[in-house]
Amino acid sequence: MTKQYHDRALDADTLDQLFNEARSYNGWLDKPVNDEQLHAIWDLMKMAPTSANMQPARVVWVKSDEAKQQLAGLVSEGNKAKVVAAPVTAIIGYDIDFHEELPWLFPHTDAKSWFEGNEKLRQEGAFRNSSLQGAYLMLAARALGLDCGPMSGFDNAAVDKAFFADEPRHRSNFICSIGYGDPASIFDRSPRPDFDTFNRIA
Amino acid sequence: MTKQYHDRALDADTLDQLFNEARSYNGWLDKPVNDEQLHAIWDLMKMAPTSANMQPARVVWVKSDEAKQQLAGLVSEGNKAKVVAAPVTAIIGYDIDFHEELPWLFPHTDAKSWFEGNEKLRQEGAFRNSSLQGAYLMLAARALGLDCGPMSGFDNAAVDKAFFADEPRHRSNFICSIGYGDPASIFDRSPRPDFDTFNRIA
């Protein structure tokens, strides 16, 4: 029997850690992130839902100085210093042929056949669901006491060539630095829209 | 000064509520979700990061019997009963012209100009970031003691016509039922990939 948590709202401090006080960082404290922490992020994010459990995300965790320099050369000017300074930057990519894995990821039906011969449908599913997984990555990192700095300003094709050279099915979606954020590196909060601005109850 | 939570990992029960024990539900207990809960979900999800604070998601919360019947007529056969039974189903859409809102959402620079005349870039940004926001919505709902049932099996164009008729800039991304999940409605967990299967540390 699965555990349920009906009407158990998390306490204010936890909601602050995950949402209300968490910020996107542009600079990082000189404190490393170890491989066990990266495994722990994955072990949480993989539990969250994707369509037909497709799990299209393919992640390269850029951690060595050499890989950071390589990635920094492929991001926009304003992101270079961030990538070099961050303990780790995750390249969140996706497998355009994720359906090849569905026989073991979604074993109870022939979900692979839904996607065969339809790259447009696979592209849409892979992009949507790897984006979901990128969000799960960020919230998992925060849940473990780490900070994030997501970025989409980079040359996707060049990053694919540099980091997915052995995996021509893989394509980058966005990147996200992970570490212990430097509080001096954040800007004022941008405004947040009220419910009525962007929501409607029908 | 922003609050920080470095190395404060959430307790096991909270990680279970958010990730490890949370499940996607196919059926719902007969227990309503009220408007205050929907506002509370938005008030959390809007705090999480989007690129240049673009916040492209536009959400229709389908809650009335009439709206549920209308939506149920536009989803795949296997999803009809779920939509009718769920207390609420969120249509997570996006504004293809979100850049028109950037002057107030991202006021410190002229981010609107980055997207003007480039619908392809806007489509990519809106789809990626509204997907992130859909993931935030699900984790916010779970954080408040609610359950989720995300679905992508529906006719997007028909849903846009029915629910975004007054907003031709808005397009549906995916839908997600919200409520108190019926534990009898879930299937066995699909397998989750090990770190080494889909990750690499560079």
Q: Is A119 on the interface with B (CB under 8 A)?
A: no
**pLDDT > 90? residue B39:** yes
Q: Is B128 on the interface with A (CB under 8 A)?
A: yes
For residue B182, the one-letter residue type is D
In a domain, B9, yes or no: no
Q: What is the pLDDT of residue A2?
A: 87
Segment B54-82 mean pLDDT: 98
Q: What is the pLDDT of residue A186?
A: 94
Segment B107-115 mean pLDDT: 97
Contact at CB, B20 and A47, closer than 8 angstroms: yes
Contact at CB, B202 and A43, closer than 8 angstroms: no
In a domain, B137, yes or no: yes
Q: What is the pLDDT of residue B134?
A: 98
Segment B87-103 mean pLDDT: 98
Question: Most B CBs within 10 Å: which of A2, A44, A69, A155, as the mutation test of the B interface?
Answer: A2
Contact at CB, B202 and A16, closer than 8 angstroms: no
Q: What is the pLDDT of residue A64?
A: 98
Q: What is the pLDDT of residue A121?
A: 98
**pLDDT 10s digits, B168-187:** 999 999 999 999 999 999 98
Q: What is the pLDDT of residue B196?
A: 98
Q: Are A95 and A170 in contact (CB under 8 A)?
A: yes
Which of B59, B147, B200 lies closest to A198 in CB terms?
Answer: B59
For residue B81, the one-letter residue type is A
Nearest to A163 by CA among A89, A70, A83, A69: A70
Q: Is A8 on the interface with B (CB under 8 A)?
A: yes
In a domain, A14, yes or no: no
Per-residue pLDDT band for B1 (boundaries 50, 70, 90) equals confident
- pLDDT above 70: percentage of residues in chain B: 100
Query: For residue A28, what are the domain limits?
Result: 23-184
Q: Number of folded domains in chain A?
A: 1
- pLDDT above 90: percentage of residues in chain B: 99
The counts of H helices and E strands in chain B are 9, 5
- Dihedral (Cα; A167, A171, A173, A178), 10-degree rounding: 20
Residue with tokens 């999480």: B48
User: What DSSP string runs through B35-59?
Assistant: HHHHHHHHHHHTTS--GGG---EEE
Instruction: Judge residue B15's burial from the number of C-beta atoms within 10 Å of its C-beta, 0-12 exposed, 13-18 middle, 19 or more buried.
Output: buried
**pLDDT > 90? residue B113:** yes
Which of A21, A145, A199 lies closest to B42 in CB terms?
Answer: A199
Chain A residues with beta carbon closer than 8 angstroms to that of B152 = 51, 125, 128
Chain A residues with beta carbon closer than 8 angstroms to that of B63 = 201-202
**pLDDT 10s digits, A141-197:** 999 999 999 999 999 999 999 999 999 999 999 999 999 999 999 989 999 999 999
Distance of CA A67 to the CA centre of its chain: 18
Q: Is B114 on the interface with A (CB under 8 A)?
A: no
**pLDDT 10s digits, A23-79:** 999 999 999 999 999 999 999 999 999 999 999 999 999 999 999 999 999 999 999
Which of A127, A138, A181 lies closest to B127 in CB terms?
Answer: A127
Chain B residues with beta carbon closer than 8 angstroms to that of A173 = 128
Contact at CB, A48 and B105, closer than 8 angstroms: no
Segment B94-103 mean pLDDT: 98
Q: Could you tell me the CATH number of the domain that includes residue B174?
A: 3.40.109.10
Gap from B74 CA to chain A (nearest CA, Å) = 15
Q: Is B60 on the interface with A (CB under 8 A)?
A: yes
Contacts 24+ apart (CB under 8 A), B68-72: B70/B162, B70/B163, B71/B154, B71/B159, B71/B162, B71/B163, B71/B175
Nearest to B22 by CA among A109, A143, A145, A37: A143
Segment B51-60 mean pLDDT: 98
**pLDDT > 80? residue A1:** no
Chain B residues with beta carbon closer than 8 angstroms to that of A18 = 44, 139, 143
Contact at CB, B152 and A58, closer than 8 angstroms: no
Work out how many CB contacts closer than 8 A connect A with B.
250
- Dihedral (Cα; B169, B172, B178, B181), 10-degree rounding: 180
Segment B39-48 mean pLDDT: 98
Helix, strand, coil in percent for chain B, rounding step 5: 45, 20, 35
In a domain, A12, yes or no: no
Mean of the per-residue pLDDT values of chain B = 97
Q: Residues A40-60, buried b or exposed e (16+ Cβ, 10 A)?
A: bbbbbbbbbbbbbbbbbbbbb
Cα–Cα distance, B163 to B48 (Å, whole number): 26
CA atoms within a 13 Å half-sphere pointing along the CA-CB vector of B195? 15
Q: What is the pLDDT of residue A104?
A: 98
Q: Are A147 and B7 in contact (CB under 8 A)?
A: no
Contact at CB, A143 and B192, closer than 8 angstroms: no
